Structure 1
Amino acid sequence: MEDCIFCKIINGDIPSYKVYEDEVVYAFLDISQATPGHTLVVPKHHVKDIFAYDADLAAQVFARLPKIARAIKASNPKIVGMNILNNNGKAAYQSVFHSHIHLLPRYADDKFSMTFIDNQEAYDEAKYQAVCDAIVAQLANENN
């Protein structure tokens, strides 16, 4: 896609700090470096978000994550964990609409944080089951 910043990075039109590349993905340091080593893994084929993946692309892209994650972790003995994040859609904080996966190394003293809100008090068995049934029905439709 011509206006896509990640496509331009993949094509070499915009410089990047490439850490890995093969026929399927291009991985490079995120310019923000939320923590040292923060890396983006992007499919070379332009795809907007996870909703546009097919099973083959998902298998190929996600199969490469452990190798890249292990290399990041091994690159710095201070790394004690890693978040793997994928934002899909503006409401989920996706800012570049070319699918990308954040590999975010974690350090004992980093200032990065995420908040997961606990809404379990708003759910009873019927509400959990209704949400579950709606998802299961969609999966059954997708398998047909």
Structure 2
Amino acid sequence: MQDCLFCKIIAGEIPAQKVYEDDQVLAFKDIAPVAPVHVLIIPKQHIATLEDLTAENAELMGHILVTAAKLAKELGLAKGYRVVSNCKEDGGQTVYHIHFHLIGGRQMQWPPG
């Protein structure tokens, strides 16, 4: 998608501090971290929202969660972490390319915010 911020990061048009990349996903540091570790994990395939997922995306979504667990170990989050995805405006989504926040390195609170 031409105007998508995350698609531009994937294409290398916008720089990002990458922490992981494979043929399906890219993970990079959030530019406005809310914890000592705050990484965004995004699929390289443009999918606007969680509502746009289909059964054909099941393997990709599983890969994203396995990647989150792998990165949590590598980034020293043995005490715990949070994986969050916002969906649409009322859910707090600001970039319309699905993405997952891997957040940790401090005690998480509930409710968030």
TM-score, normalised with respect to structure 2? 0.85
Alpha carbons 1:41, 1:100 under 8 Å: kept: yes
Question: Counterparts of 1:67 and 1:16 in 2: how far apart (Å)?
Answer: 20
The alignment yields a C-alpha RMSD, in angstroms, of 1.9
State percent identity of aligned pairs.
36
Q: CA deviation at 1:37?
A: 1.9
The runs of at least 4 consecutive aligned structure 1 residues that moved more than 6 Å come to none
Aligned counterparts, 1:91-130, within 5 A:
91-108=90-107, 113-115=109-111
Give the match for residue 36 of structure 2.
36
Q: CA deviation at 1:66?
A: 1.1
Q: Secondary structure at the match of 2:75?
A: helix
Q: CA deviation at 1:114?
A: 4.1
Q: CA deviation at 1:62?
A: 2.3
Deviations 1:22-57 (A, max 9, x none): 000000000001112200000000001222223232
Instruction: Specify every segment of 5 or more residues in structure 2 that has no aligned partner in the other structure, as ranges.
Output: none
TM-score, normalised with respect to structure 1? 0.68
Instruction: Specify every segment of 5 or more residues in structure 1 that has no aligned partner in the other structure, as ranges.
Output: 117-144
Residue 64 (structure 2) pairs with residue 61 (structure 1):
yes
Q: Which letter does structure 2 place at the counterpart of 1:58?
A: M
Question: Counterparts of 2:33 and 2:22 in 1: how far apart (Å)?
Answer: 23
Alpha carbons 1:37, 1:105 under 8 Å: kept: yes
Which deviates more from structure 2 when the two are superposed, residues 58-67 or residues 89-98?
A: 58-67
Computing the radius of gyration from Cα coordinates, the structure with the larger value is: 1
